[in-house]
C-alpha cells in the first residue's frame, strides 16, 4: 500500500524563524511529489518535484527531492504569520499523478 | 472562471437523504479529480476523469457514490442514502493534462445529521 508520512505533525514558530518540513514516501512506481498549502479548505499548489537534487524555489519557499532516500523537504525562510497553514505532501504513483496519495499534513503556526 | 469552483460550499443532509455536489473545473482542463478529506486527515482519492471518461473510480467508498462528467467539463458527485460516515470535505481538482499540477477548489463540507 502506498504511504506518505509527514513530520512534524505540528510546529509553532515565531515570525522570522526558518522551518523545515519533511515528507517521506513508499509508493509503487513513483511519478512526482507535490507540495500544497491548505488554509481553510482549498489546497493551493506550491511545487511539483520529479527529479532528484533539483531545488525548486518560489520567494521564501524552496523544496528538494531525494529519490534515493525517498523523501522531500520544504523550507520556509523568514516566516510570516501568513505562512500559518497546513502543508500537505502528495505523491503520484503507478507512473502517473492522477491518483495522489497525501500525507496527513504539517500544521504550521507562526506567531508574531 | 479563474479557478476551480465548487458548490454548494456547505451542505447539511439528514441521514438517508441524497446529495449532489458540483464542480466547475478550470476551462480547458482535461483531467478532473474528486477527493474526500476527513477532519485532520489528508485528502483521499475518490475518482478520476479524462474529459468525459471516468478512467478510475477505485476510491469510491461504496456503490452509494456516483460521479459523472457528461460533457467533459462540469462534474457532479452524487451520494445516495447518506450516512454519518460520509461527513467530510469533498474536494474537486483539475489539471490541464494528466501529470501536470492539479489545482483544487474550495471544497464542499458535507455534514450528515
Query: What is the Cα–Cα distance from B97 to A112, expressed in whole angstroms?
Result: 41
φ, ψ of residue A82 to 5 degrees: the values are -70, -10
Left (φ > 0), alpha (ψ -120 to 50) or beta: where does B39 sit?
beta
Residue A102 has pLDDT above 70, yes or no: yes
Residue B17 has pLDDT above 90, yes or no: yes
Q: pLDDT digits over B79-93, tens only?
A: 999 999 999 999 999
Residue A95 has pLDDT above 80, yes or no: no
Q: Which residue of A1, A45, A100 to mutate against B (max B Cβ within 10 Å)?
A: A100
Region A68-85: mean pLDDT is 97
Mean pLDDT of chain A: 94
B16 vs chain A: nearest CA distance in angstroms?
Answer: 26
Q: Which residue of B4, B38, B42, B47 to mutate against A (max A Cβ within 10 Å)?
A: B42
Pairing relationship of beta strands A85-92 and A106-111 according to DSSP bridges: antiparallel
Region A12-26: mean pLDDT is 97
Given this model, what pLDDT does residue B98 score?
78
Q: In the beta sheet, which residues pair with residue B108?
A: B90
Residue with cell 508520512: A5
Region A62-71: mean pLDDT is 95
Region A75-93: mean pLDDT is 96
Which among B45, B25, B54, B39 has a CA at the least distance from the CA of B85?
Answer: B39
> How many residues does this entry show for chain A?
112
CA distances from B109 to B1, B4, B16, B86 (A): 21, 16, 17, 10
Residue A61 has pLDDT above 60, yes or no: yes
A98–chain B Cβ distance below 8 A for any pair: yes
Which among B66, B90, B76 has a CA at the least distance from the CA of B25?
Answer: B76
Residue B1 has pLDDT above 60, yes or no: no
Would you give the DSSP letter of residue A9? S
Contacts of A27 (CB under 8 A, 6+ apart): A2, A3, A4, A91, A93, A101
Amino acid at each position: 500500500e502506498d504511504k506518505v508520512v509527514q513530520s512534524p505533525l505540528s510546529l509553532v514558530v515565531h515570525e522570522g524563524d526558518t522551518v523545515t518540513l519533511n515528507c517521506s514516501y513508499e509508493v509503487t512506481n513513483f511519478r512526482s511529489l507535490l507540495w500544497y498549502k491548505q488554509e481553510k479548505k482549498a489546497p493551493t499548489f506550491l511545487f511539483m518535484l520529479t527529479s532528484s537534487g533539483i531545488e525548486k524555489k518560489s520567494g521564501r519557499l524552496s523544496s528538494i527531492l531525494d529519490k534515493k532516500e525517498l523523501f522531500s523537504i520544504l523550507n520556509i525562510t523568514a516566516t510570516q504569520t501568513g505562512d500559518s497553514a497546513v502543508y500537505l505532501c502528495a505523491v503520484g504513483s503507478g507512473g502517473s499523478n492522477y491518483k495522489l496519495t497525501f500525507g496527513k499534513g504539517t500544521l504550521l503556526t507562526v506567531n508574531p | 472562471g479563474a479557478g476551480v469552483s465548487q458548490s454548494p460550499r456547505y451542505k447539511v443532509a439528514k441521514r438517508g437523504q441524497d446529495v449532489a455536489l458540483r464542480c466547475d473545473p478550470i476551462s480547458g482542463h482535461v483531467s478532473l479529480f474528486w477527493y474526500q478529506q476527513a477532519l485532520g486527515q489528508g485528502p483521499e482519492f475518490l475518482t478520476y476523469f479524462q474529459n468525459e471518461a471516468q478512467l478510475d473510480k477505485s476510491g469510491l467508498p461504496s456503490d452509494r457514490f456516483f460521479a459523472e462528467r457528461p460533457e467533459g467539463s462540469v462534474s457532479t458527485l452524487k451520494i445516495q442514502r447518506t450516512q454519518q460516515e460520509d461527513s467530510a470535505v469533498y474536494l474537486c481538482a483539475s489539471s490541464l493534462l494528466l501529470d501536470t499540477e492539479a489545482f483544487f477548489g474550495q471544497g464542499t463540507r458535507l455534514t450528515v445529521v
